[in-house]
Amino acid sequence: MSRKLIRFDWAMKKLLRHKANFGILEGFLSELLRFDVTIESILESEGNKQDEYDKYNRVDILVKSPNNELMLVEVQNDSEIDYFQRMIYGVSKLVTEYIKEGEP
């Protein structure tokens, strides 16, 4: 008999994305980052990985720091060669969505 394990990225995408469960995810991220964060929203998620050869799962989360700074947190389990370029794209997209006209 084989045990089926739940991957953390899957749990984030399927279970913890509901606002009622944000406390669990905020606690995890706060411990990981070593400062308290508040989840503003889960921005995007990718993948429906059925086996190890399928596309990987990825979850992007917008969090707010105690200084009211908005930060993009991406959680994924597999390495990716264009990670830096994707993060630049993700941050640029957030800046254009959250900056108000006339703000520096």
Residues 81 and 50: their CA atoms lie apart, in Å, by 22
State pTM to two decimals.
0.66
Digit-coded pLDDT (tens) for 64-78: 999 999 888 887 766
Q: Which domain holds residue 25?
A: 8-98
> Do 68 and 46 contact (CB within 8 A), yes or no?
no
The domain total for the chain is: 1
Cα 55 to Cα 51: distance, rounded to the nearest angstrom: 9
Whichever domain contains 45, its CATH number is 3.10.450
Cα 49 to Cα 34: distance, rounded to the nearest angstrom: 30
CB-based burial label for 72 (10 Å; 0-12, 13-18, 19+)? middle
Which regions of the chain are under pLDDT 70? 1, 9, 12-13, 44-58, 77-80
